[in-house]
Amino acid sequence: MAAMAHKEVDRIPLSPRMSKVISRYYQSGDIWAYKRFKKEYFDCDPQVDVSFPAPNPFMAIDHLLYLNDVNVEMQCAQNHWEDCYYITRTFRTPAGPLSEKILVPKPGAKAFSPQATRVEHLIKEPGDIEKISYLFPNLENIDFTGYHHSVEEMGDDGLVLMNIPGPMDYWGGEAYAMENMMVDYYERPDFFDALLAAFAKNSIERVRVALEHDVRNFFLVYFYPSLSTGWSPKIIEEKFAPVIQKQTAMIHAGGGLVDYYDDGRLMGSADIFIRAGVDILETCSPPPVGDFNLSEARKRWGQRVTFKGLVDMINVVWRGTPADIDRHIRDIIGQNGGKQALILGTMDNIRPETSDENIAAYFNAANKHR
């Protein structure tokens, strides 16, 4: 908490994204597994983000949905010539139907991405925005018992945050193709604004409801509208930053802190998010995957924000040697110029292919140098 608030610390927090490692060691991603990993293997400061306790109809393609005033129909078509099948979903709303088609790889398929891909999005024309409003879940009477139980169970062994995706992340960016939205910014600005406003309202409301249920610390996910996705700094500042700023102001007014997540290039957009008031910038990916230069970032922004992540879990932690890992972590701390306003993590989850030797080297190096 001190590091998040840019205060002095006795040592740098060690909070990599390690859910895949935890599952590998304990076949579970529950809080108890993080606590046991810390006790039985490597001293660290686990950070776990817990999803907002309401369904996301745009991502929930593998189970039934129950929405007020909406009938949901789902069909699955096998494709015998390819290692995939198609799921077609139709939402029949009071304002009219919405439909989408999703390409899903068969188990073990090697020719496709392991993740589902939309080949037809729900939103196809401006009139669909009214229909989409019926798909947003009712945020009243939400049960936050699970979140508070996680906080209590973690205790002083780590930190639990509430995961709130931004308007595009897992929501608007799944309902409508983002490359089309980028074009609409120029060619159909009214449609662009109306679409963003619908999803922004829902994202902001989730922050409000969470605050009302005594949630204080938040993990804001905003990697869909990032430089690496293709958005320009101008559009990010003009259209997305006001939403971030509003959410951050609400959280600060409630006495909380904001961990802002963008796992792409950040050097050209960090100033936007810092001015929006976020407390942590994550994941600060270094070259060659990203563009983050910690030494330069400290010169530009000083101690105004805590930088988190920074460790290359692909080229160094996975593919490097223990000596590479030690040198990499020592260099990061050196670039920071001290312990303040830094949380050692990773650009993303430590890859499941990473050897036990390199996993140990990561934690041992971090604990030695922090």
Residues 142 and 270 in one domain: yes
Residues 351 and 273 in one domain: yes
**Domain closes at, from 132, 149, 166:** 132
Block means of pLDDT (10 residues each) for the chain, 370 residues, are: 93 96 94 97 96 89 74 84 83 96 79 75 94 92 96 97 97 95 97 97 97 97 96 98 98 98 96 98 96 97 96 97 98 95 96 96 97
Residues 291 and 356 in one domain: yes
5 in a structural domain: no
Residue 106: the pLDDT is: 79
Residues 76 and 189 in one domain: no
Q: What is the CATH number of the domain that holds 239?
A: 3.20.20.210
94 in a structural domain: yes
Residues 217 and 82 in one domain: no
CA 78/CA 58 separation, integer angstroms: 22
Residue 117: the pLDDT is: 85
60 in a structural domain: no
End-to-end CA distance of the chain: 16
Q: How many structural domains are present in the chain?
A: 2
Which H or E run contains 368?
helix 356-369
CA 130/CA 144 separation, integer angstroms: 29
**Residue 180 belongs to what domain range?**
19-54+138-369
Residue 242: the pLDDT is: 98
Residue 115: the pLDDT is: 72
CA 323/CA 339 separation, integer angstroms: 22
CA 255/CA 354 separation, integer angstroms: 38
**Domain closes at, from 104, 132, 160:** 132
Residues 215 and 106 in one domain: no
Beta strand residue intervals within the chain, DSSP E: 47-51, 71-79, 84-93, 96-105, 117-120, 159-165, 218-221, 258-262, 280-283, 306-309, 342-344
Residue 206: the pLDDT is: 97
89 in a structural domain: yes
Residues 143 and 245 in one domain: yes
292 in a structural domain: yes
Beta strand residue intervals within 106-223, DSSP E: 117-120, 159-165, 218-221
* Cβ neighbours of residue 347 closer than 8 Å, sequence gap 6 or more: 263, 283, 284, 285, 286, 289, 290, 309, 310, 311, 312, 313, 314
* Cβ neighbours of residue 80 closer than 8 Å, sequence gap 6 or more: none
Residues 292 and 234 in one domain: yes
268 in a structural domain: yes
Residue 81: the pLDDT is: 62
CA 196/CA 177 separation, integer angstroms: 13
Residues 108 and 238 in one domain: no
Residues 126 and 149 in one domain: no
Residues 190 and 210 in one domain: yes
The token pair that represents 263 in the structure block: 């796992």
CA 251/CA 278 separation, integer angstroms: 10
266 in a structural domain: yes
Residue 329 phi, psi dihedral angles, 5° rounding: -70, -40
User: What CA–CA distances, in Å, run from 187 to 248, 350, 351, 355?
Assistant: 31, 41, 41, 49
Residues 110 and 238 in one domain: no
**Domain closes at, from 97, 132, 167:** 132
Taking only Cα atoms into account, the Rg of the chain, rounded to an integer number of angstroms, comes to: 21
174 in a structural domain: yes
What is the 3-class SS of 190-225, one letter each residue? HHHHHHHHHHHHHHHHHHHHHHHCCCCCEEEECCCC
